[in-house]
Amino acid sequence: MIKLNTNENPYPPSPRVLEALRAALDASVRLYPDPEATALRARVAQVYGIRPDHVLVGNGSDELIALLLRAVIDPGDRVAFPVPTYSLYETMVAAQGGAAVKVPFPDDFALPEGVATARARLTFLCNPNSPSGTLVPLPAIERLARSVDGILVVDEAYVDFSHTNALGLVGKLDNVVVLRTLSKSFSLAGLRIGLAFAVPALLAGLRVVKDSYNVNRLSQVAAEAALSDMPAMEANVARVRRTRAALTAGLERLGFRVLPSEANFVLARRPGEDLAPLAAALAARDILVRHFAVPGLADAFRISVGTDEEIGALLTALGALVGR
């Protein structure tokens, strides 16, 4: 099975992660984890040049998205985000009884004006965006943060595959939350580690609604080890970026339109053609890509950047199917 549908990293995490996990596997698992993830937050602070009291650790960034909604939203409150984007925002807004204000992206996925004027308590910006892979530049994010009424959450799940980030806004503006995850660039999706960066007063609101022991002992150990070997992550990211360029060129040769991607996936389109049958034909050949049966995306699918071998196999299969 070639799995290119959920944006996992095709490469293993730093060997230090596995060493640290083995060393931590002892009778101490009878004890609860540190509810504050103190050692991990100290490492995060060191790596990102930010104070530990500006960091909250979550059980994946999905948990942090849920905590933000739980802490900030009352039933009926408006939550804005440009669409199409990460589908969990809409699901979690509905679960919390909020009112989703979905502002359509234009064809080039530039930030739509309507997000800033949506009068929302909470605004989500996935940057780079999924499933488009496109990036809103930092000055536009800062303008957005200054014009929204409430809190701006910049979800940077894929930012390590890009060339910029919004972490600098956290020290500058009190209404900005930056979310990161170790699931993608650090190859730790199975261990569920997310990071929220924001001013302490804002994070205090999230702590009120968080389970005390939200991040287990082994995940805290693994995350600390992963962050102590940045070159391993950076080497994997460099490999993914090289393969992303080859994937983009290969898809374009086959007649697909591909948006410039700053993430570990690309959105490939054949304008006007429903790509559900093509995605199904790939699945029949044991190659999984992500098709979204929603308006505006039916003629596209999202392909995660795998190894060179996986992407070679995908392009060969697609070549046979689309006849070029």
Give the dihedral of Cα atoms 42, 48, 50, 56; nearest 10 deg: -60
The answer to the question of residue 262 lying near ligand PLP (CB under 6 A) is no
Q: Which listed range, 10-18, 28-36, 59-67, 142-150, lies at the site for ligand PLP (CB under 6 A)?
A: 59-67
The answer to the question of residue 196 lying near ligand PLP (CB under 6 A) is no
The answer to the question of residue 62 lying near ligand PLP (CB under 6 A) is yes
Determine which residue in the list 33, 60, 84, 133 makes contact with ligand PLP, applying CB under 6 A. 60
Determine which residue in the list 2, 5, 7, 169 makes contact with ligand PLP, applying CB under 6 A. 7
Determine which residue in the list 194, 203, 289, 291 makes contact with ligand PLP, applying CB under 6 A. 194
H or E stretch including 302? strand 300-304
* Pick 126 or 258: Cβ nearer ligand PLP: 126
Determine which residue in the list 183, 214, 236, 261 makes contact with ligand PLP, applying CB under 6 A. 183
Mark residue 180 as left, alpha or beta (left: phi above 0; alpha: psi -120 to 50; beta: remaining).
beta
Report the distance separating Cα 222 and Cα 277, nearest Å.
Answer: 40
Give the residue carrying structure tokens 């609101």.
205
Nearest of 181, 158, 179, 157 to residue 169 by alpha carbon:
179
**228 touches 48 (CB < 8 A):** no
**197 touches 50 (CB < 8 A):** yes
**Four-residue CA torsion sign, 65, 68, 70, 74:** negative
**195 touches 18 (CB < 8 A):** no
* Pick 65 or 287: Cβ nearer ligand PLP: 65
The answer to the question of residue 288 lying near ligand PLP (CB under 6 A) is no
The answer to the question of residue 157 lying near ligand PLP (CB under 6 A) is yes
Determine which residue in the list 9, 130, 248, 304 makes contact with ligand PLP, applying CB under 6 A. 130
* φ, ψ of residue 79 in degrees (nearest 5): -130, 120
Give the residue carrying structure tokens 């997310």.
194
* Footprint on residues 99-128 left by ligand PLP (CB under 6 A): 126
In whole angstroms, the minimum distance from the beta carbon of 219 to ligand PLP comes to: 11
Give the residue carrying structure tokens 């959450």.
153
Q: Which listed range, 37-45, 60-68, 203-211, 311-319, lies at the site for ligand PLP (CB under 6 A)?
A: 60-68
Tokens, residue 88: 């969990």
3-state helix, strand, coil in the chain (%, to 5): 45, 15, 40
Q: Which listed range, 10-18, 56-64, 74-82, 245-253, lies at the site for ligand PLP (CB under 6 A)?
A: 56-64
Q: Which listed range, 19-27, 58-66, 222-230, 234-242, lies at the site for ligand PLP (CB under 6 A)?
A: 58-66
Reduce the DSSP state of residue 82 to 3 states and report it. strand
In whole angstroms, the minimum distance from the beta carbon of 157 to ligand PLP comes to: 4
Q: Which residues bind ligand PLP (CB under 6 A)?
A: 7, 60-62, 86, 126, 130, 155, 157, 181, 183, 189, 194
